[in-house]
Amino acid sequence: MGVDLNTLIADWSWLAEAPPRERLPRLRDAWYDEATGLWDHDGPDDGWEWPRGPHSTHFGVYEFPGTMGSYKPHFWAGQLWEKARDHVDTAVRAELDTLLGGLFWDGPDYDDEGPDEGRDFFPGSHGLLVAESPEGVRELLATWERVRPRLDELRAPFDEHSMEFRFSDFDSFVRLLADWGDVLAEAARRGWGIAGLSE
């Protein structure tokens, strides 16, 4: 059985009204509330779903097109990057390390004991795959804007070093990154954070 990724952008100030250990349950309860209308239809064409009802100004949900809600494409994108990263320009490598490390990749120097502002906002929370504060969102968006124009430089290293991976299509990798760019841009526009939940 696979892991699902449900990506929500949310108003951190609204969540901060709750005690730290109640923030993620507050977001989950608002998301599951039938009044949102989110559970009445199939997923959106553009990826975004916006709730109705009392929580309509507190969060939004992004469903990555083509992933069927699965975390696997994100996992395989991280694996693909690990295989290709040593063969790309060092400046681009550093930017993509930062971007992917903030979203779904543990990175070569992963330290789950280190401070993490996004995860620290939700202490003791299980099932949290991604957590970025509004400040972290702005920083990652800036990183995305710097690296986006240089993505074509990655095609040859990816094609050469990723053939054994199931998620080996470079264009799919770029589409996934562009989707994350949309999530970051919308969250940044609203001054919100990101919470990626497994269900």
The DSSP H or E segment spanning 160 is: helix 155-161
HSE of 195, CA atoms in CB hemisphere, 13 A: 28
> Listing from the earlier edge strand, what are the strands of the sheet with 128-132?
48-49, 59-62, 6-10, 193-197, 128-132
Q: Please indicate whether residue 1 or residue 156 has the higher confidence score (pLDDT).
A: 156
**pLDDT tens, position by position, 175-191:** 999 999 999 999 999 99
Say if CB 51 and CB 30 are below 8 A apart: yes
Q: Please indicate whether residue 183 or residue 68 has the higher confidence score (pLDDT).
A: 183
Confidence of residue 168 (pLDDT cuts 50, 70, 90): low
Least confident range of 38-42, 102-106, 122-126? 38-42
Running DSSP on this structure, what letter comes out for residue 70?
A: B
The DSSP H or E segment spanning 93 is: helix 90-103
Confidence of residue 141 (pLDDT cuts 50, 70, 90): very high
**Which phi and psi angles does 60 have, rounded to 5°?**
-145, 160
Confidence of residue 19 (pLDDT cuts 50, 70, 90): very high
Across the range 144-154, mean pLDDT stands at 95
Across the range 45-63, mean pLDDT stands at 91
**pLDDT tens, position by position, 90-116:** 999 999 999 999 998 887 665 555 556
**Which phi and psi angles does 15 have, rounded to 5°?**
-65, -35
Confidence of residue 1 (pLDDT cuts 50, 70, 90): very low
**Which phi and psi angles does 197 have, rounded to 5°?**
-110, 140
pLDDT at 115: 53
